Structure 1
Amino acid sequence: MSRRSAHSGPALLLRHLAAHPAGGLTVAVLVILLSALAAAAPRAVEAMHTRSLDYAVSALEPAQRDVTGGAIGVPNPGAGGTSGPDALPSESRAAWGGFNDRVVALHDSLPSPLREATGRPQYFLSQDSLPITRIGDENYGELALAYDPRASDHVRYIDGSPPSETDDDVVEIGLATANADILSWGVGEIRQVQADRGETYSARLSGVFEPVDPDDDYWSHAPLLLEPSLVQEPLGPPVYTVTGLVDSSELPALAVSPTAVRVEVWFPLDPDAVTQADAPELVEQLRRLESAPPTVVMTRNEFFDSMLSFSAGPADTIEDTLTTDAAVDAVLAMTASGPLGVMIAVLLLGCRMISGRRADALRLLAARGASGGTLRGLMAIEGLVIGVPAAIVGSIVGILVTTGPVTAGALLLPVLLGLLPAVLLALPAPDLRRGERDDLDGASRASGRARIIVELVVVGLAAVATFALVQRGLTTAAAASGIDPLLAAAPLLLALAVCVAALRIYPVPLAWLARRSHGRRGLSAYLGPVRALRDPATGLAPVLALVVGVAVAVSSGVLLTTIRSGIDDAAVTAVGADLRVKGTPLTTEQVEAIGAVPGVADAAAVSGANSALIDVDGRRTNTSIIVVDTDALGRVQGDAPGAIPVGAALRADGDSVPIVASGATTAAVGTSTDATLDGEPITIVATVDGSTALSTRANWAVVDSRFADRVGVVNPVTHVMLLRLEPGADLEATRAAVQAVAGDAATVDTPADSAAVLASTPAAAGLQSALLIAIAVTALLSALTIAMTLVLGGPARARILVLLRMLGGGRREARTLAVWEIAPMAVVALVFGAALGIGLPLVILAGVDLRGFTGGRLQPALAVDPLLTLALVLGFALVTALCTFIALFASGRARASSILRTVEA
């Protein structure tokens, strides 16, 4: 290389950057890590929201999930011309073709994204059931008829043949194997169907079928085609209702049917097609379809026609999931705002390291005539060389480890992180002073007034933000409007306010220690606190980083404990006892046998929800009567979370029947004092909002068993049993014994089962993972802060240690000085950070609805795990001690000659 090229601008710049590379490499590594996290976080959150939607929508039964419409009436018969995948089988086109054309056109007219999220239209028609008999026998169940022009796609006949149109008065039907078996109906056998006004018609079983695909969502819309329904009257024999398929060409005859005819149309909804981006618009389109459905006219026996009406399907579920996702975003924004400030503070410390290494070169350039702008430009170029490539590498890593589309918004923060080193290095004028004492600087004293103003503004903003959040209460508006800036900024403002308090308070004990140690023997006992006061390694950046680091770690631990505690309480509320038996009617013998199982201390039998009407001043509302022995229920539930209030008022005799009502039932009654249940006056003695272990319905009323007959419940059938176990009982062995008595059709679950399901939901699991990541990231940032602070104070510390050794000081004084350098900052971080960490969840609980994570009906209460909190604080202390030890080791290796050469005379 020629002498000219060696002294060119680019060559000198490269030599400048290559000198003292440690600071630049540190900042580059930090930018890579932060950029990777910044690029991955939005994509990971978006993927979590999509999983939440898929989880919630997939958990619905297809009949609840699909976009379903129905009407009472018969489609107008007529041929149609739809071709392709929506075409009907040739034998059904003559009667159903016109209706099929209208339904297909209706689906094609749906707006996007609803149209793309739903599949090919399906439909079938059914009649109300009528009693059937064997010839010459008494009533033997009931038969409903169903018509499906695509029946051949769903069933295959294993005995006999499909029903066909007949010329006589006999109607041919096809039955599923289970339905034919329960009625002992053989192929070819004719039975009588009793219509209205004493009329009958004959039905012949033409064939027995089985499903082509038993797992097809189709069977959720037509479950009675496969299995009978059972009505068990307390004093009568069981009554089975079955549904049989009829030849679809019989459609024109239904216009004069003696029973109600209903048509159901549905568009299958694909859960994978419901994305976070499209979900709000999808909900709006579902609501619009429900309120103003397209016109598809049906013929009725009356003088007027009817039209299809659609339900909103999964709209409520999607809205609830969006609300929960908004709460996730709010918690993550509040949790991330503090670390975001720490990131800037740590980068500032890294840039101070670089500036310190470049100080001599900058002084030389200034002495040779370089202006302040030139010096700033040089530092900005170095910041760009360090930050931009590091941000690019970090962004690529973050994108590779996550899934989903790459959006401009996801790359905004990495871009800013890449530019931030240049801004931090170039923004302040390079400090060209050397060897001057900051504590004796008159300009520093003159800035006291400005500092007070800034501190008052920070504290005021923190107070206003916190007060506004507490006064506003819980909000779910973020589901529609995005992250609330007030929620997101409050933690960072509180952290800054705490830092202001810390920086104002911690010099007071240091000054007291300096005065106390003035007359003691040993130089380090006095020099330590004095140096910490006059030449502190601390400042806003390291104090902010350390206080927020401890606060985020502690608050994340508290939030984890709070959410898990809320999940546990919600699980106990959902199950209601140590064990719950549900899912099938239980006989009296089974109830007694379950109560006698070894390990069961007490049992409460709960009747099935019997439908009844509440009359409120002439307005009638459906509700479900739940009959329980309130004494037994009180013993089983005790004071567990969500226990039904079964005090003496529920057993009090009087003119009216006392009940415990759900929130929906209480709302229906309102302030009326004349409400009746099945004609009997009632008094609501307590209200329970939300779900309960006794019923999954919204409207219900709990009645003590002694009043059951007064509200029309005679011989109630047990459908749920709540069990309290003996102390020390083997849970799994007891559950297995209860399951053996209850039978395979019953479900025996525990609060742990329910808690595992709640904790595994994508929203709850994702939030817990995010909080754990926040703890890890802030721990890393705190370690880097301590290391950088010690590195920044390294030259001054090394000079003092060398001078002390020359004056006869030993290693003890060296260790003491290093401890005094970092100890005040660490103690401040531990005390103020831990207090802030416990207080931040209170702010979050005041402004964010966490019930979507816990599954409970109440906002979870703050729960602090002392062991976890202590472990986090001790972990921080351990990191501090380790970094201090490393700094001591490095300082102890400093050579006196090299240090003293840097000290000016």
Structure 2
Amino acid sequence: MTGRHSARRGRGTTPAGLAWRQFAADPWVSAALALLVGLVSLLVTAVPRALEDVQARQLAQDVSALSALQRDVTGAWGTTVESPFAVDPADGQATDPWQPFRDGAEQVRLAQPEPLRSLLQPAQMHSYLTSDITTVPPIESTYYAATVTVFADPDLERHVELVEGEWPELRAPAGPDPDAPVGRTRPAGTQPDQEEDAARTTVPVVILDEAAERTHWEVGDEIGGGLELVGTYRPVDPDDPRWQHVPNGTSMGILADPNRGEAAQVTAYLSPRNRGSLGPPASVRTQLWYPVDTSALTTDRVDTTLVRRQLTRMLAQQHVIVPAGDPSLGTLEGPQVPSFTTELTSALDQVARQQRATSSLLAVVAAGPLGVAAAVTALGARLVVQRRRPALALTLARGASPVQLRRLVAAEGLALGVPAALAGHLVARAVLPGPGRWWEWAATAVVALVPAVALAASLEDASLLQRRSDLSARGRSRWRWVVEVAVLGLAALATWRLLDREARGDEAAESGIDLLAAAAPVLLALAACVVALRLYPLPLGLLTRVLRGRSSLTPFLGAARALRDPSGGLVPALSVVLGTSVALVSAVLLTTVTQGAEAAAWQGNGASVRLTGPVVDDALVQQISQVDGVTAVARVRDLGSRLDLVVDGERQSLRLLIADDGLERVLAPPSQAAGPPEAFWDEEGPVPLAVGGDVSVTTGEGTLGTLRDPVRVVGALDDVPGVQTPGSWALVERSRWEAAGRTTPLARTALVAVGEGQDPGRVAEEVRGLIGSGVVTTVQEELDDFTSAPVTTGLTRAFVGAALVSGLLTVLAIVVVQLMGASARTRLLAVLRTLGLGPRQTRALTSWELGPLLVTSLVVGAVLGLAVPWVLVRAVDLRGLTGGGAQPALSLDPVTVGGVLLTVVLTVVLAVSVSAWLAGRTNLAQSLRVGEER
């Protein structure tokens, strides 16, 4: 023997050399196992990142939908400004009166924790006199009056451009002439009297160029209250959100009076170095606001619940912007303490509920593909060990210990899993860039270890002998019974705690995944598999005994082999159960959320078309009724005052809403809005009332305020369709209210029903043309917003993706099971083919081996796929996804459920057909040859 041969044999007998030779002899299964690990690692890393991205974009969209007045954190407080001048007491020089306010506001912002601090941009501020100035513009303007609100803005010159005249400067006015008539202006082009100037000095202001043009005020005019117009301005960016904090800042307002005509609403600006004084001490309201950076919500992927807690804490605390005694403040001014408010907290609450529901549902759906992937990985590891059984048995016979063999296959598993998992992780980070989380690497590490653990666990015993593993309902392992009882107990406990959560008053976690809601369906799936696989051998044994007396060999032999020599054991059943249940859960939950969103859109809009804003009188109702396609119009009014409802001696104060008699026709199908009960429309007896909100009385007769007729509470509603309901309220029909001798107020909300086959969008456009001003919305617009929302598209893709991945993995599991039994099946089929068994019977035999188990798994998976959504709809708050005020009902669409089941069945049939086709390609000569295994 040469040295080369000795060296070559020495390398081959080392553990690394032996592992390499085993891998090189049959690399495809190991390579497929590594590919599966890489795919799982990619999904484990990518899915949470994609979920964070979807939630961040949804948060940014919801926050951006708020106006600046609703979104920004705004503080306001009142003070008395003594003089327009701020003087430094050290040198007597004029100073910037706004600088202490800027510094104080910035200190408040910097005192906030992250991420709230980064979301709040530097504060902006202005002040305005609490007393408006009413004057009369020139007669050419056609306005009978003009109301001027005086503002002071330190950043005015940065946000507007001067159109005509000059910027206002600081003056020391002596105050307006008490003998001068209020509202009289000096004619344009005339010069003020010098003695009049000596007696008093006007205060220079600038106004919007549009306002000056429409009121016919010119530069140099006195516009009332001692204000001199010295210039006009135009906003640099009229769409800047800051202008939402300034009434009439970008356009002149008009207030209509049916008896007198129109009055102009004008905003006038003082010098930017004036905090709001016209001379004598003035009562001033100061506002500052922190604009919210909506782009940071997406780029930084902030924790919504954390931001909400920080924001709530900020609103609850007292913040001193400028302390008392500051040199910039007058002697009449105390500490400047704003009261901060924002509607962002309610939006964050809505988004937090939405994110919690989304995360919980995705956790439930993702458990299916992960479970199937784990099952396929276990099957693949067993297949690798099975195909290497002769070599491993020979190694064991030559002196290797079982521990050494486990270390050997575990090392191979690490060599396969670590690079594959790392590659999947890096691909996911490249596709979905963004800040990393420590648990992403931890999840990747766990995935990388799975092949090593699975391969080591696949060495069943030290001798590697093949044994029969007959299925039995009783089982031989004591620990199997312990594990199964534990699984059943945990599933029952989790389901009970989940369904009983509302009765106990418990609430889900404020953020992240609802762990109980995510764990209960997984435990239910495991429990269903435990029960099914315990009971499965009983009908299979009965089927074997029934087929034993028949003349056909194939069904009996296939059933007997499925009972006595199950190729994959119990693992493929779990794969099919999870794959079927995931497909059904995804379809049912998606249908439930979609139908819930549609019902919420109908409930929120009230009718196909809703009109809000202007006064909707009888004439306008008549015009709307004549629009082609309109079938009914109903108005809903708010009485505007609270009344006492007394029923059975219990008194409760509530707001009264009055609905037109046509509301019943508006709420008729195809409307999905929930209206009052039938008894509400009774024309005889006590006046019917439907109550809602905080009203505790839901039935009974009593009295309402000073109404002379008795009333009867006929039922409770969550809300009135299309109307923002107050905390406690009652709804009454207009005809019954007026028949009791009461008058109805003006209506500003009208619900318009559109006939079937008509276009609500066209009707809405015609209604907009009739009213001129106001808000007209349709149900279809609400549904379009829902379907285009990031969370809706993301959830849909996740559900579809989970179903597809589960289906593919299920097919792979069935194929792997066929390959695991290929050796024994091939030997048997070779003998039977020699005795005359045909190719069709060969394929039928393979189908019979897999068929009973797969049919049982399909039935169990279908039942589980319908039971899990039933549990989730009763336990998980889905209102954040639908946008409604009520929990959506479980929606089972027969077409969708049937289509999903048919697809799953066809997928399983395809997998069985592929397995049967592979089994039918038996090489008789090679299988009958006495080889190294004989």
Same fold (TM over 0.5): yes
Quote how far apart the aligned CAs of 1:406 are.
2.1
Distance 1:613 1:678 in 2: 13
Quote how far apart the aligned CAs of 1:582 are.
3.3
- 2:470 aligns to what SS in structure 1? helix
Q: Are residue 36 (structure 1) and residue 42 (structure 2) matched? A: yes
Q: Are residue 147 (structure 1) and residue 158 (structure 2) matched? A: no
Distance 2:653 2:221 in 1: 41
Match of 2:177 in 1: none
Q: Are residue 123 (structure 1) and residue 125 (structure 2) matched? A: yes
Q: Which amino acid aligns with 1:391?
A: A
Distance 2:422 2:552 in 1: 53
Match of 1:532 in 2: 562
Q: How does 1:458-607 map to 2 (within 5 A)?
A: 458-473=487-502, 478-480=508-510, 482-586=512-616, 588-607=618-637
Q: Which moved more, 1:840-849 or 1:451-460?
A: 451-460
Q: Which amino acid aligns with 1:39?
A: T
**Equivalent position to 1:23, from 12, 29, 35:** 29
Tell me, yes or no, if the aligned pair for 1:330 and 1:487 is still in contact at 8 Å: yes
- 1:2 aligns to what SS in structure 2? helix
Q: Which amino acid aligns with 2:476?
A: S
Deviations 1:739-765 (A, max 9, x none): 43334x444432121012123333333
Q: Are residue 837 (structure 1) and residue 865 (structure 2) matched? A: yes
Tell me, yes or no, if the aligned pair for 1:39 and 1:410 is still in contact at 8 Å: yes
Tell me, yes or no, if the aligned pair for 1:145 and 1:243 is still in contact at 8 Å: yes
Q: Which amino acid aligns with 1:124?
A: H
Tell me, yes or no, if the aligned pair for 1:126 and 1:261 is still in contact at 8 Å: yes
Quote how far apart the aligned CAs of 1:248 are.
4.3
Distance 2:817 2:256 in 1: 78
Tell me, yes or no, if the aligned pair for 1:634 and 1:646 is still in contact at 8 Å: no
- 2:277 aligns to what SS in structure 1? helix
Quote how far apart the aligned CAs of 1:267 are.
1.5
**Equivalent position to 1:264, from 287, 308, 313:** 287
Closer/same/farther in 2, CA of residues 164 and 659 from structure 1, 3 Å limit: farther
Q: Are residue 286 (structure 1) and residue 311 (structure 2) matched? A: yes
Match of 1:196 in 2: none
Q: What TM-score, normalized to structure 2?
A: 0.85
Closer/same/farther in 2, CA of residues 648 and 226 from structure 1, 3 Å limit: farther
Deviations 1:415-459 (A, max 9, x none): 111111111111354454555433399xx9871554444332222
Q: Any gaps of 5 or more consecutive residues in structure 1?
A: 82-90, 193-200
**Equivalent position to 2:243, from 209, 219, 225:** 219
Match of 1:158 in 2: 163
- 1:264 aligns to what SS in structure 2? strand
- 2:98 aligns to what SS in structure 1? helix
Tell me, yes or no, if the aligned pair for 1:476 and 1:849 is still in contact at 8 Å: no
Match of 2:205 in 1: 173
Closer/same/farther in 2, CA of residues 291 and 683 from structure 1, 3 Å limit: farther
Q: Are residue 242 (structure 1) and residue 247 (structure 2) matched? A: no
- 1:840 aligns to what SS in structure 2? helix
Distance 1:239 1:379 in 2: 89
Quote how far apart the aligned CAs of 1:24 are.
0.5
Match of 1:273 in 2: 296
Q: Which amino acid aligns with 1:244?
A: A
Closer/same/farther in 2, CA of residues 187 and 648 from structure 1, 3 Å limit: farther
Question: What percentage of residue pairs aligned between the two structures are identical?
Answer: 33
Quote how far apart the aligned CAs of 1:735 are.
3.8
Tell me, yes or no, if the aligned pair for 2:474 and 2:534 is still in contact at 8 Å: no
Distance 1:255 1:648 in 2: 66
Closer/same/farther in 2, CA of residues 97 and 616 from structure 1, 3 Å limit: farther
Tell me, yes or no, if the aligned pair for 1:595 and 1:603 is still in contact at 8 Å: yes
Match of 1:87 in 2: none
Q: How does 1:275-674 map to 2 (within 5 A)?
A: 275-296=300-321, 307-312=337-342, 314-431=344-461, 432-434=463-465, 436-439=467-470, 447=476, 449-473=478-502, 478-480=508-510, 482-586=512-616, 588-607=618-637, 611-612=640-641, 627-629=658-660, 631-638=661-668, 640-645=671-676, 649=680, 663=693, 666=695
Distance 2:777 2:100 in 1: 50
- 1:577 aligns to what SS in structure 2? coil
Closer/same/farther in 2, CA of residues 681 and 321 from structure 1, 3 Å limit: farther
- 1:294 aligns to what SS in structure 2? coil
Q: What TM-score, normalized to structure 1?
A: 0.88
Closer/same/farther in 2, CA of residues 309 and 435 from structure 1, 3 Å limit: closer
Distance 2:161 2:78 in 1: 29
Q: Which moved more, 1:290-299 or 1:889-898?
A: 290-299
Tell me, yes or no, if the aligned pair for 1:133 and 1:139 is still in contact at 8 Å: yes
Closer/same/farther in 2, CA of residues 677 and 833 from structure 1, 3 Å limit: farther
Distance 2:782 2:506 in 1: 25
Closer/same/farther in 2, CA of residues 700 and 677 from structure 1, 3 Å limit: farther
Q: Which amino acid aligns with 1:559?
A: L
- 1:537 aligns to what SS in structure 2? coil
Closer/same/farther in 2, CA of residues 682 and 190 from structure 1, 3 Å limit: farther
Tell me, yes or no, if the aligned pair for 1:79 and 1:97 is still in contact at 8 Å: no
Q: How many residues align?
A: 878
Closer/same/farther in 2, CA of residues 233 and 515 from structure 1, 3 Å limit: farther
Q: Which amino acid aligns with 1:3?
A: H
Q: Any gaps of 5 or more consecutive residues in structure 2?
A: 174-199
Closer/same/farther in 2, CA of residues 858 and 500 from structure 1, 3 Å limit: same
Q: Which amino acid aligns with 2:445?
A: V
Quote how far apart the aligned CAs of 1:694 are.
2.4
Quote how far apart the aligned CAs of 1:859 are.
0.9
Q: Which amino acid aligns with 1:693?
A: G
Deviations 1:694-735 (A, max 9, x none): 238767665544588899997854433322122332444434
Match of 2:233 in 1: 209
Tell me, yes or no, if the aligned pair for 1:677 and 1:711 is still in contact at 8 Å: no
Match of 1:86 in 2: none
Quote how far apart the aligned CAs of 1:897 are.
2.2
Q: Are residue 794 (structure 1) and residue 822 (structure 2) matched? A: yes
Q: Are residue 725 (structure 1) and residue 754 (structure 2) matched? A: yes
Closer/same/farther in 2, CA of residues 393 and 138 from structure 1, 3 Å limit: closer
**Equivalent position to 2:897, from 855, 863, 869:** 869
Q: Which moved more, 1:168-177 or 1:29-38?
A: 168-177
Deviations 1:530-565 (A, max 9, x none): 222111234221111110110011111100100101
- 2:497 aligns to what SS in structure 1? helix
Quote how far apart the aligned CAs of 1:402 are.
1.1
Q: Which amino acid aligns with 1:174?
A: V
Q: Which moved more, 1:750-759 or 1:542-551?
A: 750-759
Distance 2:834 2:873 in 1: 58
Match of 2:18 in 1: 12
Q: How does 1:749-760 map to 2 (within 5 A)?
A: 749-760=777-788
- 1:253 aligns to what SS in structure 2? coil
Q: Which moved more, 1:835-844 or 1:273-282?
A: 273-282
Tell me, yes or no, if the aligned pair for 2:639 and 2:744 is still in contact at 8 Å: no
Match of 1:88 in 2: none
Match of 2:179 in 1: none
Deviations 1:511-533 (A, max 9, x none): 33322222222221321222221
Match of 1:773 in 2: 801
**Equivalent position to 2:55, from 11, 30, 49:** 49
Match of 1:73 in 2: 79
Distance 1:266 1:679 in 2: 50
- 1:223 aligns to what SS in structure 2? coil
Tell me, yes or no, if the aligned pair for 1:335 and 1:491 is still in contact at 8 Å: no
Match of 1:253 in 2: 277
Quote how far apart the aligned CAs of 1:169 are.
4.9
